[in-house]
Amino acid sequence: MNSIFLDTLHKKDTVRPPVWFMRQAGRVLPNYNALKEKYTFWQMMQDPELAAKVTLLPVFDLGVDAAILFSDILVIPHALGMGLEFTDNGPVFDTPIKNMANPLSKLNPQPEKLEYIYKVIDQIMLTRPANIPLIGFCGAPLTVLSFMIQGLGSRSDFKDAVQFFFTHKTETKKLIAAVNELTLVYVEEQIKHGVEVFQLFETNSGLISNELYEELFMPSVKMIASKVRESNIPFIFFPKGFGTGIMSITPDICDFVSIDWQTPLELARKFVHQDVGLQGNLDPRFVFSPQNEIEIELQKYLQFGKKNQKWVFNFGHGFLPESPYENACFITQWVKNKQWR
Ligand code: CP3
């Protein structure tokens, strides 16, 4: 495939950095919002034609260099038997683990509940433009488990989940193993069906200390990484809020690391192992700024990109609700049209 994104991930020199955005397949797009009038999020995710269409919308509407599967990280708890609903305020579980008597006995892996997602991937493979790779993804163990325990939507501070890790450490380890076992099957199937890149979303890595993360969660990140890289698929890790933890990110963990908006990119380049590429990290709230102010910020990225080939332009977290579409187009086109070398 002739793709600037794959070339960069394979550490080849390119005329400009590739560009895509976390949460690009969603509410920033007027065409997505029009579909949302007719269908719920779950309906769109589960219908292969609709999900494939939504996956490709940002490619056509924004002009990004890669598509990311339209799905969610919480499909894993759902396939472990947890009742899940996506409300207007975010995802809600019927019975979060914090309210279960013996959670391990209630988790029941049903890998067949993920099969519709592989049909979505098949449909994307049939309909995508020839130079657009597909990014597969899943949630990393801490983020997935903290949602499972806490059960709340996006505005939670995951207080009970973190407390659970400290009060029930042995059970936490077993829960991580249960999530990881199904996740590994899911990763393997996504790759069999054709995803060319894999990103692991660890949005909640800042909930606990780097030391506890290393002990409890890093072993499963490494297992997921090996599963992905067995097939020579580039692996991107996004540990949001990891702070100085990025200093321990080495090529045995990932090919690229996605840097959050809290961390200056130049500092990240100094701290992260030199053979690991970087992705990110424009603050997604810059899309709310006037275009002349966005442009001043983008100039800093131009300077960075001139010095760094192993870099993918992205945000430091996903698009927020109500992000103005025109500014998302402006940023994408700016990156694509600048003289970078
Ligand atoms: O465009 C893409 O990035 C691809 C699809 C994608 C979604 N969720 C679709 C989605 C991806 C990669 C995710 C990952 C995800 N989901 C994460 C990790 C990354 C991050 O953004 O932090 C997390 C923590 C979730 C869990 C989740 N799903 C939350 C907290 C919410 C509610 C908040 C919100 O943004 O709406 C969701 C719902 C969700 N997932 C939507 C979309 C498009 C919104 C559904 C809608 O349109 O109503």
SS3 content of the chain, % helix, strand, coil (to 5): 50, 10, 35
* Ligand 1 atom closest to Cα of residue 74: 26
pLDDT, one tens digit per residue, over 195-246 is 999 999 999 999 999 999 999 999 999 999 999 999 999 999 999 999 999 9
Q: Which of 28, 55, 69, 73 to mutate to test the pocket of ligand 1 (most atoms within 8 A of CB)?
A: 73
For residues 261 and 282, is the Cβ–Cβ distance under 8 A? yes
Kindly tell me if the per-residue pLDDT of 77 is higher than 80.
yes
Q: What is the mean pLDDT of the chain?
A: 97
pLDDT, one tens digit per residue, over 86-131 is 988 889 999 999 999 999 999 999 999 999 999 999 999 999 999 9
d(CA 330, ligand 1 centre) in Å: 23
pLDDT, one tens digit per residue, over 143-183 is 999 999 999 765 678 999 999 999 999 999 999 999 999 99
Give the predicted TM-score (pTM) of the model: 0.97
DSSP annotation of 318 reads P
Tell me the C-alpha distance between 145 and 150, whole Å. Answer: 8
d(CA 226, ligand 1 centre) in Å: 25
Q: Count the domains in the chain.
A: 1
d(CA 254, ligand 1 centre) in Å: 23
CATH number for the domain spanning 325: value is: 3.20.20.210
Q: Which domain holds residue 33?
A: 4-337
Helix runs in the chain, H state only: 4-9, 30-38, 41-46, 48-61, 75-79, 103-106, 115-127, 141-150, 159-167, 169-192, 210-216, 218-229, 265-271, 291-307, 325-337
